[in-house]
Chain A
Amino acid sequence: MRSEARREDGPRAPVWLRVLAYGGLLFLHFPILMVGLYAFNTEESAFSFPLKGLTLRWFQAAAAREDVLGAIKLSLQVALAATGVALVLGTLLAGALYRRRFFGKEALNLMVILPIALPGIITGIALLSAFRLAEVTPNFWTIAVGHATFCVVMVYNNVVARLRRMPHSLLEASADLGADGFQTFRHVALPQMATSLLAGGILAFALSFDELIVTTFTAGHEKTLPIWLLDQLGRPRDVPVTNVVALWVMLITAVPILVAWRLTQGTEDVAGSSR
């Protein structure tokens, strides 16, 4: 906030910079606007522009499709399971790593980040080959296990950032006043972590809900929403329903992301800066 005043007094951005900055934003949102627009398209099997006409009937059609609803349900269930695991593992890791220094700490840090730092295809094929070795047929749980693995980092990042900002004296004060480790966790640490847990959980949920690449390896015959969409791209006859579902997916993810952003506001967490 110290810098706020300075910038308000500071010079306005040169025109060319403003053009480039807002141009960049336009570029980022243009395809999203297109998705919104085409969901109302009357045309059934092409993408001609300008649109021939607008209609709401595809929304009804999509809502009546068993396969769409099944895919949404599966994706929600997977995301819930993965988020649950990520919350537990991420919090444990954050608690162990946020303050103490010990041998191998750097390696642990790397291990948590690796599943999102390495291309999804590596995580995907590694899991698949391991599942085959263990003779596990891909199912709901193989998807959830894969997702949980790369969701941990979302929770971990948020919680660790929060814990590092929390004055350590709060925990000491609690112990000083007679609270043992469990009581301190329940009455001080947990309330302090609450928003970061929620934000991390939401990001983990959103990440799992949209994940495609790892899922294509671990899903077997199960169809999560992104896989359903991928399959749809090979079905030109079904374009209108695809358009509507694409819009839904956008909206389903946008809301939690905005909530997570609100939660981390003023705490300087860069939500998702290392997705």
Chain B
Amino acid sequence: MLRLPSFRLEQPDTLPQALALLDQAGPEAAVLAGGTDLLPNMKHELRRPSVVIALSRVKGLTGIAEAADGAIEIGAMTPLAEVAQSALVARALPALAQAAALVAGPQLRQRGTLGGNVLLDTRCQYVNQSHFWRSALGFCLKKDGTVCHVVAGGSRCVAAASADTVPALMTLGAVLEVARHDRTRQLPIDAFFVADGIVNRRLEPTELLTRVRVPRPAAGHRGAYGKLRERGSIDFPLLGVAARLDLSEAGVVEHADLVLTSLAAAPRRVAGAADALRGSAPGHAPAEFETAVRRVAELARRQCRPLPNLPGDHEWRGEMVPVYARRTLLAAAAGQGPVHHV
């Protein structure tokens, strides 16, 4: 059996304990928040932490609650299955519910957590392989090497951001609550990701993501998630699309957003999408709305050029960008989704 490298396991019971442990261990530590990404990566020796800090016993990190201001707060250790099945999330944040329901397969959604998914490591066909495989190829920028196998001569890692829930959270304007032993900070999720495949998250080694706070969208909020993958289960996204439409009482789009993932090292917001969609009225003038949607799909196509960083046909992934952009927006407008082939 493929074995985990050895490490010391810490299982703190409280957040301060966890933060103190993290402060002591620093970059030597890995945080286990479900383990469905971390443990395979450790088996592949992509990470060899000397200390693993498991958060499963830490109290207060799970649960979905409505704050006084109507915001929805989700503990970082809340299982993805719980996010997917929550009536509150489904009603208020449909794109997030849909995205969470499409992560991996049923068992991994029980084990995997929202925080873990947000912090999912970037993925690449030349990275997510065993140590033997990578040594045979020659190590790359992401881990232990100096070259890129995706882009010949490339000096920047282009491993793909692959978390399904992130684009949904970005359209929803989520705020990440990040704790360190000496302070807590609130970080808009938009400012959290950087286009660096080696580490695409702005999280210090001694910080923990503790909570995801999502402002309550207005009553006319519509959202949907589209996921492109080969199989109907288990697979990571080859493309993820989150769409948001906020309709006025009159049914006119007041605000819109479209965020894509699995293309590059950071998720990408389609520039100009909001402007193109604002003012259209899917219910009253569907043809005009569809024209606007097609315009946004075209913007998405132009702004996104997938690289061969993930397995499979990257040109096809590129062709699917406008298709999934359009379908996801239409699904959102119709109060439907997810956009998924099964």
A binds B: no
